[in-house]
Amino acid sequence: NRTSLWGGRFSGGPAEALARLSVSVQFDWRLAPYDLAGSRAHARVLAHAGLLDAEELGKMLAALDDLEAACASGAFRPTVEDEDVHTALERGLLERLGTLGGKLRAGRSRNDQVATDLRLYLRDHARGVALRLVELADALVEQAERHVETPAPGMTHVQHAQPVTFGHWLLAHVQPLLRDLERLRDWDARAAVSPLGSGALAGSSLPLDPVQVAKELGFATAAPNSMDAVADRDFVAEFLFVTAMIGVHLSRLGEEVVMWTSQEFGWVELDDAFATGSSIMPQKKNADIAELARGKSGRLIGGLMTVLTMLKGLPLTYDRDMQEDKEPAFDAVDQLQLVLPALAGMISTMTVRADRLAAAAPVGYTLATEVADWLVRKGVPFREAHEITGKLVALCVARDCALDEVSDEDLAAISDHLDPDVRSVLSVKSALAARTTYGSTGPGPVADQLAAAADKLITW
């Protein structure tokens, strides 16, 4: 006696193989609170339409409340006989109300229900993900505050390039997170459209009020086209793009922490509570959180590909393929809720070795650009300045010495333009202090950037 929503025209129950393929309640059960919220709004609209009298509405709402409490406590659980969350909850309602429970399905279909439930679920959980993102961004901002003036060897191609402040570097990981937060906000505005009232695909002949239902469920508006409403999964794909993008950002941060904590860099030491050991090598201290953050990006990107590929070429309107939208969406939420707090804890407790960063900052002739810029300020065309400085670097490489260790005579031999004054720009501190323009790595603009980032984060 499988509970089913569609037995009437069939001579027998579904084959076991079909039932096993079709069942989704093992993963869509988490939509139950949202389905129940939709049911309450739908019951009210049925009463308003004269399809439930006041007494019936009272009983219906009380039964929905009771069912919600039973779901929350675990007293009501879906069984293997329930095809999906909607089927299970109708069974729960029938158990409480008898035949009256069967009235709630009027004017409603699982097609508009499931699209509504998933929107509600994702809007709710997007807020949770955003708050976890803010915590990670806050952790990075707090570390950056300590290192507004700490020099570090900025890199391109993982080669020492130009000195930067480590605060600027850390904030370069905050900016992508700020964009992700904006993406979630933008996404929410587009996701705030209610499909409920669209029925299976054609709307309803009953005098429902989709706009009122939308408001009651916290949506900005109801869907303007019932066919699109049940066929549209843009909101899932777009959500998964945002979570994939977050995954990519976390993977780049994770990769850098892996490098920074290596013996070769030694820039950062992780707190014991946020590092792992080895089962055989007693000395090991590994950055597993950073690696898992890097690794999780694969499944987040995969989730986006799963849903886009599933949707491609699907004819309007609802197709059962679309049941495959939920697991990637839930998984994206679950993975981010796991990885973000761990990363935030790891970042906020790590110790930055400012001494080692500062020592590394000038290594690899990172001040060569300062020489070229100094020549430019003296009127030398940059093309020539680049050439002259290149010769100076080549000499230093050959002699295994620093830029400021070249004698006055050797400087003059390279170019008439190179007088001993050039040494005034050959310090990391002066190179950083000289970077005062908006968005630059100097302590001044970095302090401004810190304040602006903190202002943005406070709005969440």
In this complex, which beta carbon is closest to ligand ARG, that of residue 113 or of residue 165?
A: 113
Query: Shortest Cβ distance from residue 117 to ligand ARG (Å)?
Result: 9
Q: Dig out the tokens for 46 from the structure.
A: 């049925």
Q: Phi and psi dihedrals of 257, rounded to 5?
A: -65, -40
Out of 59, 110, 173, 296, which residue is the one contacting ligand ARG (CB under 6 A)? Answer: 110
Out of 287, 322, 360, 361, which residue is the one contacting ligand ARG (CB under 6 A)? Answer: 322
Residues with active-site annotation: 157, 278
Contact status: 306 vs ligand ARG (CB under 6 A) = no
CA-atom Rg of the chain in angstroms? 31
Query: Shortest Cβ distance from residue 308 to ligand ARG (Å)?
Result: 17
Select from 33-41, 315-323, 358-366, 403-411 the region that touches ligand ARG (CB under 6 A). Answer: 315-323
Out of 111, 162, 335, 449, which residue is the one contacting ligand ARG (CB under 6 A)? Answer: 111
In this complex, which beta carbon is closest to ligand ARG, that of residue 223 or of residue 343?
A: 223
Query: Shortest Cβ distance from residue 24 to ligand ARG (Å)?
Result: 5
Select from 51-59, 106-114, 239-247, 444-452 the region that touches ligand ARG (CB under 6 A). Answer: 106-114
Query: Shortest Cβ distance from residue 284 to ligand ARG (Å)?
Result: 45
Size of the site for ligand ARG (CB under 6 A): 10
In this complex, which beta carbon is closest to ligand ARG, that of residue 114 or of residue 222?
A: 114
306 strand-pairing partners: none
Using CB under 6 A as the binding rule, the residues of this chain from 45 to 84 that contact ligand ARG are 84
Select from 122-130, 201-209, 317-325, 381-389 the region that touches ligand ARG (CB under 6 A). Answer: 317-325
Contact status: 114 vs ligand ARG (CB under 6 A) = yes
In this complex, which beta carbon is closest to ligand ARG, that of residue 96 or of residue 110?
A: 110
In this complex, which beta carbon is closest to ligand ARG, that of residue 101 or of residue 199?
A: 199
Nearest to 36 by CA among 8, 2, 63: 63
Q: Dig out the tokens for 66 from the structure.
A: 């009771």
- Give the CA-trace dihedral at 314, 320, 325, 327, to 10 degrees: -150
Query: Shortest Cβ distance from residue 441 to ligand ARG (Å)?
Result: 50
In this complex, which beta carbon is closest to ligand ARG, that of residue 137 or of residue 329?
A: 329
Contact status: 117 vs ligand ARG (CB under 6 A) = no
Query: Shortest Cβ distance from residue 319 to ligand ARG (Å)?
Result: 9
Using CB under 6 A as the binding rule, the residues of this chain from 142 to 161 that contact ligand ARG are none
Nearest to 338 by CA among 283, 371, 388, 295: 295
Contact status: 323 vs ligand ARG (CB under 6 A) = yes
| Binding characters for ligand ARG, 11-30, by CB under 6 A (x = yes) | -------------x---x--
Out of 9, 157, 312, 320, which residue is the one contacting ligand ARG (CB under 6 A)? Answer: 320
In this complex, which beta carbon is closest to ligand ARG, that of residue 122 or of residue 343?
A: 122
Query: Shortest Cβ distance from residue 201 to ligand ARG (Å)?
Result: 10
Query: Shortest Cβ distance from residue 328 to ligand ARG (Å)?
Result: 13
Select from 154-162, 206-214, 288-296, 314-322 the region that touches ligand ARG (CB under 6 A). Answer: 314-322
In this complex, which beta carbon is closest to ligand ARG, that of residue 319 or of residue 387?
A: 319
Using CB under 6 A as the binding rule, the residues of this chain from 362 to 391 that contact ligand ARG are none
Q: Residue by residue, what is the 3-state secondary structure of the chain? A: CCCCCCCCCCCCCCCHHHHHHHCCHHHHHHHHHHHHHHHHHHHHHHHHCCCCCHHHHHHHHHHHHHHHHHHHHCCCCCCCCCCCHHHHHHHHHHHHHHHHHHHHHCCCCHHHHHHHHHHHHHHHHHHHHHHHHHHHHHHHHHHHHHCCCCEEEEEECCEEEEEEEHHHHHHHHHHHHHHHHHHHHHHHHHHCEECCCCCCCCCCCCCCCHHHHHHHCCCCEECCCHHHHHHCCHHHHHHHHHHHHHHHHHHHHHHHHHHHCCCCCCCEECCHHHCECCCCCCCCCECHHHHHHHHHHHHHHHHHHHHHHHHCCCCCCCCHHHHHHHHHHHHHHHHHHHHHHHHHHHHHHCEECHHHHHHHCCCCCCCHHHHHHHHHHCCCCHHHHHHHHHHHHHHHHHHCCCHHHCCHHHHHHHCCCCCHHHHHHCCHHHHHHCCCCCCCCCHHHHHHHHHHHHHHHHCC
Pairing of the two strands 268-269 and 221-222: unpaired
Using CB under 6 A as the binding rule, the residues of this chain from 332 to 361 that contact ligand ARG are none
Site of interaction with ligand ARG (CB under 6 A): 24, 28, 84, 110-111, 114, 318, 320, 322-323
